[in-house]
Amino acid sequence: MSVLRGKKILLGISGGIAAYKTATLVRLFIKAGAHVQVVMTPASKDFITPLTLSTLSKNPVHSSFYNDEDENAVWNNHVELGLWADLFVIAPATANTMSKMVTGNSDNLLIATYLSAKCPVYVAPAMDLDMYRHPSTQDSFAKLEAFGNVIIPAESGELASGLYGEGRMAEPEHIVAFLEKDIEGKLPLRGKKILVTAGPTYEPIDPVRFIGNHSSGKMGYDIAVAAANQGADVVLVSGPTHLTINHTNVKLVRVTSSSEMYTACHDYFDGVDVAIAAAAVADYRPKHVADQKIKKNDSNLVLELEKTTDILASMGEKKNGQFLIGFALETENEIEHAKAKIRKKNLDLIVLNSLNDAGAGFGHDTNKVTFINSRFEEEPLALKPKEEVAKDIINKIKEHYNV
């Protein structure tokens, strides 16, 4: 999964021959899972049509403040465009456009939008060799970077003039790779290693039957994605679930039983900074597992159960600086039981679910939780989608590390 997934990217196109490459660039942004809008200078439409870009981006293309052919046309609000974007990529950025960005010469919609943008701005220059090397252009580069913009270096190669040298706009694939690397390098949890458990465990009775629970694993999977999106390297130890995950920062380890989950957790626990135990691990398992399917001979079947090893408590006993987060699913005396778990299992934070709250617990896309830290400070949250709860949990980790 690309770090660009879900990002709102505003692509600004100025009037250079390299504008023809922006069709590929838009396509790559969409393929990475981004939402794309395009704003063009009037001159850029000589090199690529707005129809092509609107078709690829699935959004209208903006190139002027209003449509002078329609007296009822709505004003294209450059402020709204600038505030909409998570990233503003100007490619190609001609010497003319960069000069206007430096001086604030707002004579077209692209420059007006740039001056209104609050998001990171990336500039991909494209021009001939001598223009690229000219002191005025180099001065524009320096001032743009001083403003906080990021320059995507031009590449060397054959230029439209027939000369060979520096000044080619970076290839679309290289622009996407540059953005991904730059964003990943600035993520707050980059370099942190996080262990997450998810889903149920199945404790075998015989080769066919098992003891399990209704956990879907969604909460743990959402936590893993939220952590990975913040730059963490995540190991997700998952019990049986239909869920899948596709993220370059997530290593998925599938297990079935509580003993397998215990082993997997302790294989990784010493090497992580954070462990989040979101799995619904079975508390008991059959003491004796039948080698063959148990036949339905008697009207009653008696199973002798034994306690499973408490994975979270075992990590709490072993922890050496890790930030340890547990979950508690309760039906009565919720706060008291959750606080007791913090003490008993040596936790830094517990995420309390109550089955008495509508929309919380197993089988829902939403959750309603209360955070309780090791100082027993309570922070109840409203009912919200599990993806948002996952982000709240990751924010607690960021607070812990002051990032």
**CATH code of 117's domain:** 3.40.50.1950
Write out the residue range of the structural domain in which residue 174 sits. Answer: 8-185
Structure tokens at 214: 């209704």
Closest CA to 280 of 337, 354, 355, 200: 200
70, part of any domain: yes
Residue numbers annotated as active site: 213
Q: Residue 356: pLDDT above 80?
A: no
Domain check: are 263 and 389 in the same one? yes
Domain check: are 213 and 308 in the same one? yes
**CATH code of 359's domain:** 3.40.50.10300
- Residue 95: Cβ within 10 Å count: 20
Domain count, the chain: 2
Q: Residue 74: pLDDT above 60?
A: no
Instruction: Taking residues 202-207, report their average pLDDT.
Output: 95
44, part of any domain: yes
Question: What's the pLDDT tens digit per position in 276-305?
Answer: 999 999 999 999 999 999 888 777 888 999
- Spell out the alpha helix ranges (H) of 134-253: 135-146, 172-185, 218-229
Model pTM above 0.85: no
Domain check: are 133 and 244 in the same one? no
Using DSSP's 3-state secondary structure scheme, residue 253 falls into: strand
- Residue 363: Cβ within 10 Å count: 8
Choose one of 154, 185, 216: the last residue of a domain. 185
Q: How confident is the model at residue 12 (pLDDT cuts 50, 70, 90)?
A: very high
Helix (H) or strand (E) holding 50: helix 50-57
Return phi, psi of residue 275, to 5°. Answer: -130, 130
Compute the distance between CA of residue 176 and CA of residue 285 in angstroms, rounded to an integer.
Answer: 50
**Alpha-carbon distances of 304 from 165, 299, 307, rounded to whole Å:** 78, 17, 10
Structure tokens at 127: 């021009």
Choose one of 135, 154, 185: the last residue of a domain. 185
1, part of any domain: no
Compute the distance between CA of residue 375 and CA of residue 371 in angstroms, rounded to an integer.
Answer: 11
- Residue 103: Cβ within 10 Å count: 11
Question: What's the pLDDT tens digit per position in 75-122?
Answer: 556 778 888 999 999 999 999 999 999 999 999 999 999 999 999 999
Q: What is the pLDDT of residue 61?
A: 93
2, part of any domain: no
Q: How confident is the model at residue 15 (pLDDT cuts 50, 70, 90)?
A: very high
Compute the distance between CA of residue 329 and CA of residue 258 in angstroms, rounded to an integer.
Answer: 18
135, part of any domain: yes
Burial class (CB within 10 angstroms; exposed 0-12, middle 13-18, buried 19+) of 257: buried
Return phi, psi of residue 185, to 5°. Answer: -65, -20
Domain check: are 61 and 155 in the same one? yes
Give the count of alpha carbons within 13 A of 176, CB side only.
21
Instruction: Taking residues 178-207, report their average pLDDT.
Output: 95
